[in-house]
Amino acid sequence: MNLSENQKNILDKPLGLNLLIEGYTGVGKTTILLKKYEQIIKNHMISRNKIIFVVSDEIKKQINLNRYFLLSANYNLLNIYTINELIHRYLTMMDLPLFNNTISKDDKRAILDGLIHDNPEIKYTVDSLNEEINFIQTFICIKDDNELEETLKKELKKYLMIPRKSTNKGLLSFKEKQNIWSLYHQYLKKVLSEDIFDEETFYQSFLRLIYHQFDENELAMNFTHIFIDDVQDFTKVQLDIIYYLFDRDEQNASYYLALDDLKAKDRYRNYKYADVFQHLDHTVTLDVNYRNSHNVFNLISSYLNNNELISQELPYTSQKEPCLCKSVLTYYYNKKVNEKQEVFFDRINFLVTNLDYTYKDILVVFACQDNMEEITQQCEIQNIPVGDIYQHLESIEINALTFIHKSELISVEFKVVILYDADDKKLCTGPINKIINIQNNYIDSLFFYLALGNATDFLIINSSVSEPSHLLLPSKIDYRQFVFDTCSKFEIKSTLNVYRISEFIAYIKHNLCTYYGYSLTDLQTHKIFDICIKLDENSIGIKILDNNIDDDTINYILNNSEDFKYIVIFDSHHYLTFQKTNKEFERIIDIPNKTNER
């Protein structure tokens, strides 16, 4: 692949410099990390065991393995670990059987609920207490040689100096923080005395072990070159674990971080207080988008520029050629429960049958779990294979749609991304609630950004016209980047309604004249069709339905259309175009242009 100048500069950097590589989705951060990794392996006399590539979870590991396989013939060189695998490897080398007795998040909440019950004078919900204790454990773990009790006293002083929000929208007082710390202290004593570890206690306890062994020069292993992908997915404690396994005394030792700030679920960016950020030598910003079609790139760009929750100042350009096929935004009036399903399955069929995509090329993102389960069942009935993101990554032989809930969305390329329900209360809250419920809106803004960024060719967004997500308001995205249907040139119009038939006809005529080369004199009336076009030997009949398109309706219209070469059937949400070939009608991509038919 061609590299940008900034990517080439990263490869040219000498060893011994700690680099931060930042930029939006699709600009090649991971790609250049992998290339830099391979460059060090090939060009320098450094043991492969002294170089490690770290990711936050198994899915990202699989994505990077697949990407490295495409970039390099030396597939087996990539020494990649999740953070948990790295810790397990360390403990195995030490033959230390600690941290094996783990508990789930629900188990942790149950213990905290019991502590609240035992301390009725302290008024906290289990959710607010759990959130605050998780913050403490992922952010505060100081390097100290004293006994744990003394270290915790120092950590309490640090916690008291950090502004933290209260459940009443103000800041926690010293007294409130001391009460929270008291419950946290009780929780920590209980789990450590019983030798059980939730996820946060596990990382925190392991970091304390690493601190001690570092001071005593007893580390079981360390690395001279460390690569951390998507560093925003790690907590401060996790990043400090990695940093203390970094052999900073080696002359040419260096580490490399890839950061997409917009993907950070922590809107306060607490991970930036980690030691790896304090000892950076250089930052490189990548700004050329390689992943998305030009149209999807434009949507991301306008969304970022207009969303105050995640506004950024990084430059963002695209190397892709302009895409002739714009993204699709569909509004539904919810006349029938299953109308969205009908159009969804029609579009899936159209993408696979007429546009030569495979099921494996298509990601469907659901903001509603019930919708996801219902569509999965419908796919089973229609014999359409469906898989999850793991199956998509692990097997190139499985040709199946990938279904994913928004909360599980990750950054991975698909040719087509369908955002099934971009409605209020499903994807983000309404315009008023966004002011008082910033946290939920921030997270849904993140999901929306990830969905946009995953599409390389097509992006299809469905929303109810009665309650669209505020992320779809004109102030957030550029409506000029959307069209009425897949592969069409019809501009989006959110007030489109077949019950206002005259307006609908005027809308079609406007688009035919503006984008397809016809003039008003070409557009005639007809006893069956709402618009009739007759030019030379070719003729087009356009029919508007006040109900959803179905097979019986299609067959009836086609069987009564002997005088026409092209038939176009509209409903409120999409349209179908047919061409007569050898006395039979076959579906084609779009309405023919006048200039192509004369």
DSSP assignment string, 154-165: HHHHHHHTS--B
Query: Residues with Cβ < 8 Å from 578, sequence gap 6 or more?
Result: 558, 566, 567, 568, 569, 585, 586, 587, 588
Helix (H, G, I), strand (E, B) or coil at 256: strand
In three state form, how does the secondary structure of 520-545 look? HHHEECCCCCCEEEEECCEEEEEEEC
The residue type at 333: Y
Of 165, 189, 192, the closest CA to residue 177 belongs to: 165
DSSP structural state of residue 28: S
If residue 375 lies in a helix (H) or strand (E), which one and from where to where? helix 369-381
Alpha helix (H) ranges present in 194-287?
199-215, 236-244, 275-278
Report d(CA 81, CA 61) in Å as an integer. 7
3-state helix vs strand vs coil in the chain, percent to 5:
45, 20, 40
Query: Residues with Cβ < 8 Å from 252, sequence gap 6 or more?
Result: 14, 15, 16, 44, 224
What's residue 213's pLDDT? Answer: 95
What's residue 462's pLDDT? Answer: 95
What's residue 598's pLDDT? Answer: 40
Helix (H, G, I), strand (E, B) or coil at 341: helix
* Residue 573 near residue 547 (C-beta atoms within 8 A): no
If residue 82 lies in a helix (H) or strand (E), which one and from where to where? strand 80-82
Report d(CA 422, CA 368) in Å as an integer. 9
Residue 104 to residues 145, 201, 492, Cα–Cα distance (Å): 30, 11, 47
In degrees, rounded to 5, the angle at the alpha carbon of residue 228 between the alpha carbons of residues 227 and 229 is 115
What's residue 434's pLDDT? Answer: 65
What's residue 395's pLDDT? Answer: 82
DSSP structural state of residue 172: P
What's residue 597's pLDDT? Answer: 46
Helix (H, G, I), strand (E, B) or coil at 222: coil
Burial of residue 269 (number of CB atoms within 10 Å: 0-12, 13-18, 19+)? exposed
Which two structure tokens, joined as six digits, stand for 287? 């700004």
Residue with tokens 């109900």: 547
Report d(CA 287, CA 175) in Å as an integer. 47
What's residue 596's pLDDT? Answer: 54
* Residue 286 near residue 7 (C-beta atoms within 8 A): yes
Of 569, 568, 566, 575, the closest CA to residue 597 belongs to: 566
What's residue 561's pLDDT? Answer: 84
Report d(CA 220, CA 241) in Å as an integer. 13
What's residue 147's pLDDT? Answer: 93
Question: How many residues appear in the chain?
Answer: 598
Q: What is the pLDDT along the chain (598 residues), one digit of tens a residue?
A: 688 999 999 999 999 999 999 999 999 999 999 999 999 998 998 888 999 999 999 999 999 998 998 888 766 789 999 999 999 999 999 887 767 788 999 999 999 999 999 988 888 899 999 999 999 999 999 999 899 999 999 999 999 999 998 766 689 999 999 999 999 999 999 999 999 999 999 999 999 999 999 999 999 999 999 999 999 999 999 999 999 999 999 999 999 999 999 999 998 899 999 999 999 999 999 999 999 999 999 999 888 888 887 776 777 788 888 777 899 999 988 667 688 899 999 999 999 999 999 999 999 999 999 999 999 999 999 999 999 999 999 887 899 999 999 999 999 999 999 999 999 889 987 777 666 666 678 899 999 999 999 999 999 999 988 888 989 988 888 888 999 999 999 999 888 887 889 999 999 999 999 999 999 999 998 888 999 999 877 799 999 998 888 889 999 999 888 789 999 999 988 999 999 998 899 999 999 998 654 4
**Mode of pairing for the β-strands spanning 566-570 and 538-544:** parallel
